[in-house]
Structure 1
Amino acid sequence: MTRRVGQERLRQISAERFTPDNDRGRARELAQAAASYLIIHRRSARPSAGGTPPKGWPWDKTCWKPKSMRRDLERAGALVLAALQALDALDADEAKARQELQT
């Protein structure tokens, strides 16, 4: 199962060009997008495809592309991974800046 989340993250990077460098500073947006893909399934495992994204969707509505519950969970997991990577990058930048101040 976790392999599918990893594969989706790799797809986002290679096919969609959502690289870790592009995601820097966007952890909140990525988390909001992940939550959006999760929340649509709170009442139904099969929400209507397309349509209006839920409140809180951080991007243009043309980027909203729900599929099946399984697929949307994979996407949400990959978006969480991207958000964590963005936070890791921010932490690394801050640590580097602190170290530079000390030298």
Structure 2
Amino acid sequence: MKIEDIDTIIKGIVGFKGRVHVAFGEPLTAIPDDADTLAAQIDRQIWQLYRLFPVNYLAAGVAAEMSNDKSRQCWQEKLAALPEEAQPLLTKMYAAPVEKQVKIA
């Protein structure tokens, strides 16, 4: 591994990340034999505990009551910084958590 690769990894670990939320789910007491069932149980807890931020609502198109002018401006700047063809992918990535929480609710 090159030195610059290690440096990039270190910067990614200790560098600024913005708003971050860390949560811990309930321990699984009954582990199913089926890996898909186990994965679904873990996914359900992840999405129930996932903290949505204004950018998620903006991307999902439900921003009116969930964001402010600063959030909207920041989102527009994020999109504008990307090539036009990449903007739908970023929007989809940020909107996905909103859609997941709606499905598990």
Give the TM bin, normalised by the shorter chain: 0.3 to 0.5
With normalisation by structure 1, the TM-score equals 0.34
More relative contact order, 1 or 2 (CA 8 Å, 6+ apart)? 1
With normalisation by structure 2, the TM-score equals 0.33
